[in-house]
Every structure is written in structure tokens, then in C-alpha cells.
RNA sequence: GUGGGCGUAGCUCAGGUGGUUAGAGCGCCAGGUUGUGGUCCUGGAGGUCGCGGGUUCGAAUCCCGUCGCUCACCCCA
């Protein structure tokens, strides 16, 4: 490429075909959000660096797209939306009716080497319920995420949700003797288990927590089991039992909502962000070829951390990159071809004014209309009509106009008929025909 | 940040072992003499062969560097 003005690495242009796809996804997200009664919000793309330090977890902070502005402020392009949301709510959650149901479609940024499904910039559908600590809120949030995918044509054959609960994980670790302070380290081991494999994970868990290697192995094995099996292992522990009961209720609600076939328990899901406190989940393509499409969970402490009123909260983020890749693989991308209702052809220069006013009249009625911007032979104008995707061409010729009519050609069937110029302006001819 | 692969027109790619004005298809523009498209025919625009340096009489072709793309690792929205 000889263009010296290149895109920054990891950033995308959106020419019309790509923007059509993006808009298709955004529209589905927004439709589903509104269907569940959520209100859209937004915030600044540039935030004080400190908003993310310590609240988001090392993973995000290490990859912040940050710099110093001209006022010597340390700033960062937002890597996630939740802290901004938390700040907004810290200022006003007291005065809002609960539960608060808000969503957003922000563009987020991270500074890291890009690869498939992971760029330096992406758009992310954020959905949050604030002010409700019961599992029905957790369930509703996951259901919206799943519905967002269904809205785009994906089914339970294409995607699945893997859900876990940090409270249950914590209770399990406690049950085998892992101290409270050691549990975050244990979470980290569990989070990496799928990549590192059972042997290494067992060694690391044992080393990080002090429990025996055998015990560590037992715990890790249990993470892949179902709820009943987990419960059966700790009949005497109230804490584990309560957590199991809660997750069980959560699953029942999802079943009742009709999305149960998408959901599986998987205690190996932890999520990297530091602020999650309860149920966490991730959505994946069934084939497991792509990265997570979506991730979220409960974060009951975050509002306090940014100086607001303590409020329970649960939400998720769904990025557009992996999702669009998946839609592409499943042939679910929208048609990006151009289309027009009408193309007006003027036969002879004298009729151009007439063509323009007809086009305007149709546009005022909400029709999409185009015509040649320069003097052109009729054949040329027809070619343009095809290029622009016109469904019908209206031909204004001297003979017909003299008789008060125009020829309307259906570009699919090739059939032509005469319509009076009077009727063309108000669609009366269309009504009579159909 | 680490490693592998790749980098020729807008797109997909040709260009044996280095040799004169770098090619094709598609797309784009213009024509095929101002009343009808999706086929066809003709012509045209468009490339400092990613960039820089080196080897050579001579490099798209070999060597080094660099940038970019891509895959994997790290990590994960």
C-alpha cells in the first residue's frame, strides 16, 4: 500500500459494507435492550487513569491505552464501561428507582498487540442491573445476552453460556482449608486451568494455597462436575449448600425464561476482573473456535469503591469483533447491497427539472430515490439504476409526459406500465395495483 | 513483549535458477452516435513491486534492517 496515512494498528475503518454489518449488530442489541426495559446511556471515551487502577484488575491496567494530556493529567481511553457506569451511578443512584436497568454500546480501547478477535478498539454492548441482589437479576442479565445473540440468528446449537459463582468457588476452597486471603490466588489458578492443564494447575494450586496436592486435585476435578455432585461432596457444610441452592435457583429461572438450553454450569469460569463478587459467566461459540463472545457477572462492591452508595449490581459486556466473526462463519451477516425504491430516468435534458421535482416528491413521501447527476444517455441511466439497486425505474419521456404519464419499469420482472404523473406523487397507482 | 508465515494495481493473484517500457481476471471510468439495464465488444485510468540500505553492470526476484498484515505465545474486553 502506497498510502502514507495508514490506520493505527488494531483500529478499523468502517466503509459502508462494514458499517452496515456493525449497524445490524447494534440495532439487534438496542432492540433487545429496550425489549427488556433498559435505558441507554453513554460516557466519555477518555477518562482519568485512576478510574481503572486498582478497580479493574491488573490484566486491564497493564494494557491500558493511556498517556498524559496537555494539562499534565494522566488519562486513559476507556478499556471497559463499568467504572464509568459506577461513577455515574455513584452520583445519582440514590435518587433513581431500583432496579436500575441501563445499557450502552461504547467503543473501548486497549493497548496490546492485536490478533484474531482482539483489536485495540472494539464496541461492546454493556447491560447492567443495579440495585437488586437476588439471582433473578443475574438470570435476567444473562437472558438478555443470550437473546441478543438469538436476535442475530444464533441458536443454542451455535453458542453456549458457561456459568459459575465466585461465592461457591470460595466456599469450596474454604471447605478444603484455603484461607480467605489465599483465595484470589486460587481463583487465578482456576482461571488459567484450561490453558495450563490439570497437572500444572494442581501443582500451582497446592503451592499457592498450602493445601495438599491430592486435595488440590480433588477440588479441581470437582469444578467440572454438576451441581448435585458438588453438593454431595460437602453435605455437612452449610456454606457450600447455600451457594449450591442459589445457583440451582438461578438455573431454574433461566429454564423458566426459555434459555436453559444455552446454559451450563462450569466452575472453571472465574473471569479476570477483580471486582466480580458472585455469579460470573461467559458466552462461547459451541465449536470453541473463537474467543469468548461475552463475559459478565455480579459486582456488588464496585459502586462503593468509586465513592458511591453501596449497591448490588450485575452486568455483562459483549464485544462486536468475535461476534461478527461468528456471524460471518454462520452466514448470518446482513445483505450489504445498495438499494433504492426508484431511479428516475429523464429522456432528454429538457425533462431533467421535471425528474428532479418528481424525485423530491417521492422523497417527501419517504421513498429512496436517485437519478443521474449529469446529462447521460438513457442506457447509461439504466445502468446506474442497476448499480444503485433500484427496484423500479420511472422513465420520463417527452411523448408520455405530454400525455401526463410516465413509464414505470419493474427492474426484476422487466415489466413496464404507464402511470399518470399525478398518481406517481401520492402512490395511488401502487395502491390500485396491489 | 516473544516467535513463525506473508507484503506485486481498489480486490484475487501471475511474474522457473536476478536481465530491457511489470502482467491477467474482477472492479472502476469512457465509448459502442442522446427512449431502456443486468450479456457482449473497444478503449482508458490505476503500481517508486510495503519502506530503507546492501550485493551486482543490472533486483519485484538475493542479503540485512524496518514498518505493516497474519497466526501462535503471554493475556484477555
Per-domain boundaries in chain A: 16-329, 340-433
* Predicted pLDDT of residue A287: 83
The single-letter DSSP state of residue A396 is E
Whether residue A1 is predicted with pLDDT greater than 70 in this model: the reply is no
**Helix, strand, or coil here: A234?**
coil
pLDDT tens track for A206-222: 888 888 888 888 888 88
Residue A231 clears pLDDT 70, i.e. is over it: yes
For the domain made up of A16-329, give the CATH fold.
Answer: BirA Bifunctional Protein; domain 2 (3.30.930)
List of residues 6+ apart from A162 with CB closer than 8 A: A264, A265, A266, A268, A269, A281, A282, A283, A284
Q: Residue A348: its pLDDT value, please? A: 86
Q: Which of residues 139-198 of A touch strand B (CB under 7 A)?
A: 191-192, 195
CA-to-C1' distance for A289 and B62, Å? 40
Strand B contact with A55 (CB < 7 A) = no
Q: What is the mean pLDDT of residues A16-38?
A: 94
CA of A346 to C1' of B42 (A): 27
Q: Which is more confidently placed, A322 or A54?
A: A322
Answer for the pair A299, A271: CB distance below 8 angstroms, yes or no.
no
What mean pLDDT, rounded, does chain A reach?
87
In this predicted structure, what is the pLDDT of residue A408? Answer: 93
Mean pLDDT of A296-324: 89
Is pLDDT of A4 > 90? no
Q: Tell which residue, A310, A303, A252, A256, has the closest CA to residue A275.
A: A303
Rounded, the Å distance between the CA of A2 and C1' of B46 is: 12
Q: In this predicted model, what pLDDT tens digit does every residue of A360-380 receive, in sequence order?
A: 999 999 999 999 988 888 988
What positions of strand B are covered by protein, i.e. any atom < 7 Å from a CB? 1-2, 9-11, 28, 31-38, 47-48, 50-51, 67-77
Contact assessment for residue A135 and residue A246, using Cβ atoms and an 8 Å cutoff: yes
Give A2 CA → B15 C1' in Å.
20
Task: For domain A340-433, give the fold.
Answer: Rossmann fold (3.40.50)
For A31, the 3-state DSSP assignment is helix
Question: What pLDDT score does A303 carry?
Answer: 83
Mean pLDDT of A55-63: 65
Share of residues in chain A with pLDDT > 70 (%): 94
Confidence of residue A46 (pLDDT cuts 50, 70, 90): very high
Rounded CA separation A206/A202 (Å): 6
Which one of A5-9, A305-309, A410-414, A428-432 scores highest in mean pLDDT?
Answer: A410-414
Amino acid at each position: 500500500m502506497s498510502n502514507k496515512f495508514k490506520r493505527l494498528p488494531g483500529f478499523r475503518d468502517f466503509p459502508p459494507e462494514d458499517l452496515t454489518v456493525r449497524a445490524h449488530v447494534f440495532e439487534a442489541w438496542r432492540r433487545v435492550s429496550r425489549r427488556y426495559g433498559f435505558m441507554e446511556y453513554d460516557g466519555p471515551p477518555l477518562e482519568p487513569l485512576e478510574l481503572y487502577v486498582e478497580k479493574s484488575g491488573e490484566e486491564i491496567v497493564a494494557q491500558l491505552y493511556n498517556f498524559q494530556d496537555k494539562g499534565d493529567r494522566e488519562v486513559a481511553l476507556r478499556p471497559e464501561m463499568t467504572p464509568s457506569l459506577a461513577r455515574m451511578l455513584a452520583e445519582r443512584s440514590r435518587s433513581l428507582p431500583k432496579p436500575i436497568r441501563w445499557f450502552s454500546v461504547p467503543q473501548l480501547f486497549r493497548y496490546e498487540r492485536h490478533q484474531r478477535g482482539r483489536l485495540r478498539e472494539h464496541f461492546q454492548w454493556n447491560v447492567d442491573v443495579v440495585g437488586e441482589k437476588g439471582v433473578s437479576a443475574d438470570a435476567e442479565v444473562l437472558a438478555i445476552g443470550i437473546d441478543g445473540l438469538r436476535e442475530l440468528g444464533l441458536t443454542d446449537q451455535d453458542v453456549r453460556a458457561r456459568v459459575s459463582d465466585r461465592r461457591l468457588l470460595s466456599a469450596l476452597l474454604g471447605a478444603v482449608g484455603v484461607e480467605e486471603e489465599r483465595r484470589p490466588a486460587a481463583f487465578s489458578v482456576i482461571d488459567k486451568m484450561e490453558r495450563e492443564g490439570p497437572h500444572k494447575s494442581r501443582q500451582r494450586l497446592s503451592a499457592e494455597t498450602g493445601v495438599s496436592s491430592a486435595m488440590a486435585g480433588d477440588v479441581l476435578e470437582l469444578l467440572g462436575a454438576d451441581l448435585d455432585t458438588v453438593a454431595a461432596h460437602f453435605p455437612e457444610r452449610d456454606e457450600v449448600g447455600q451457594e449450591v441452592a442459589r445457583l440451582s435457583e438461578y438455573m431454574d429461572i433461566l429454564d423458566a425464561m426459555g434459555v436453559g438450553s444455552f446454559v451450563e454450569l462450569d466452575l472453571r469460569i472465574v473471569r479476570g476482573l477483580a471486582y466480580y463478587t458472585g455469579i460470573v459467566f461467559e458466552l462461547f461459540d459451541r465449536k470453541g473456535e473463537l474467543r469468548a463472545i461475552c463475559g459478565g457477572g455480579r459486582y456488588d462492591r464496585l459502586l462503593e469503591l468509586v465513592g458511591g452508595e453501596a449497591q448490588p449490581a450485575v452486568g455483562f459486556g459483549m464485544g462486536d469483533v468475535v461476534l461478527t466473526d461468528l456471524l460471518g462463519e454462520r452466514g448470518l451477516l446482513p445483505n450489504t447491497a445498495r438499494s433504492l425504491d426508484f431511479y428516475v430516468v429523464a429522456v432528454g435534458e429538457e425533462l431533467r427539472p421535471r425528474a428532479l421535482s418528481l424525485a423530491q416528491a417521492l422523497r417527501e413521501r419517504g421513498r429512496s430515490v436517485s437519478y443521474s447527476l449529469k446529462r447521460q444517455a438513457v442506457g447509461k441511466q439504466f445502468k446506474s439504476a442497476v448499480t444503485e439497486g433500484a427496484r423500479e425505474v420511472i422513465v420520463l419521456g417527452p411523448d408520455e409526459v405530454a400525455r401526463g404519464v410516465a413509464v414505470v419499469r419493474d427492474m426484476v420482472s422487466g415489466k413496464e406500465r404507464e402511470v399518470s404523473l399525478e398518481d406517481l406523487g401520492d402512490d395511488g397507482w401502487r395502491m390500485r395495483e396491489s
